[in-house]
């Protein structure tokens, strides 16, 4: 998940920082907190990261890169199997959502703490998010039954936002499994944006 991960120790620092940032908030969290939780010295952290913001950037950019790679792989596989476009979109949504829920705390940090990034890292994150956005938009636009009066950018933002907000409200201990939730979500999305529902 984490970019430029040269050693297991650097990955450990990032994993620990996710919990520290999530529990204390980025502003209140300190490098001392992260070092203590990772059982290394504060000086040891500086061996891998120059600033606290650099750690946050590594975490947020890492999840975005992982998400793009996973979704792109899923779409490629679905198309190689000659699935119709509705099934491709459904597979895309599921892959995207599973990655968000697997990394639930990081996905929430993206929503909560992105403004803490430096302007350079924020620009880099936006660039990667734009790549994800364009991939999702292209697959939605390829739906042959898409309602023509809908704006494809609005639809894409709605789909991506719905997936990301699952990180806030989905409870794995609740009545519905993640597959049940995603099946209902996909049906709701497709019913809303297509001329006719897919017939079985």
Instruction: Kindly give the parts of the chain with pLDDT less than 50.
Output: 1-5, 198-200
For the chain, the domain total comes to 1
Q: Is 71 part of a structural domain of the chain?
A: yes
CB 70 within 8 A of CB 103: no
Q: Which domain holds residue 85?
A: 58-193
Task: Give the Cα-Cα-Cα angle 74, 19, 52 (nearest 5 degrees).
Answer: 100
User: What pLDDT was estimated at residue 2?
Assistant: 46
Q: Is 200 part of a structural domain of the chain?
A: no
User: What pLDDT was estimated at residue 167?
Assistant: 83
Q: What single string gives the DSSP state of each residue in 147-160?
A: -TTS-HHHHHHHHH
Q: Is 15 part of a structural domain of the chain?
A: no
User: What pLDDT was estimated at residue 56?
Assistant: 95
CB 109 within 8 A of CB 18: yes
pLDDT tens profile 125-172 = 999 999 999 999 999 999 988 888 889 999 999 999 999 888 888 888
Q: What is the C-alpha separation between 120 and 127, in angstroms, rounded?
A: 11
Q: Is 44 part of a structural domain of the chain?
A: no
Q: Is 10 part of a structural domain of the chain?
A: no
Q: Is 126 part of a structural domain of the chain?
A: yes
Please tell me the pTM assigned to this model.
Answer: 0.83
Q: Is 160 part of a structural domain of the chain?
A: yes
CATH code, 97: 1.10.357.10
Q: Is 32 part of a structural domain of the chain?
A: no
CB 68 within 8 A of CB 14: no
User: What pLDDT was estimated at residue 6?
Assistant: 53
User: What pLDDT was estimated at residue 194?
Assistant: 87
């Amino acid at each position: 998940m984490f970019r430029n991960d040269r050693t297991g120790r650097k990955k450990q620092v990032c994993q620990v920082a996710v919990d520290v940032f999530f529990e204390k908030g980025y502003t209140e969290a300190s490098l001392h907190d992260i070092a203590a939780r990772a059982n290394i010295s504060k000086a040891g952290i500086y061996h891998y990261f120059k600033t606290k913001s650099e750690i946050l950037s590594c975490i947020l950019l890492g999840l975005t890169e992982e998400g793009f790679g996973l979704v792109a792989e899923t779409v490629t596989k679905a198309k190689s199997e000659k699935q119709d476009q509705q099934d491709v979109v459904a597979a895309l949504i599921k892959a995207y959502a599973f990655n968000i829920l697997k990394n639930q705390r990081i996905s929430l940090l993206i929503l909560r703490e992105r403004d803490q990034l430096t302007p350079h890292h924020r620009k880099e994150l936006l660039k990667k998010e734009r790549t994800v956005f364009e991939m999702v938009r292209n697959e939605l636009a390829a739906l042959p039954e898409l309602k023509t009066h809908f704006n494809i950018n609005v639809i894409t933002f709605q789909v991506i936002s719905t997936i990301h907000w699952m990180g806030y409200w989905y409870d794995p201990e609740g009545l519905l499994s993640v597959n049940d939730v995603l099946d209902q979500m996909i049906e709701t999305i497709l019913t809303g944006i297509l001329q006719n529902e897919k017939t079985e």
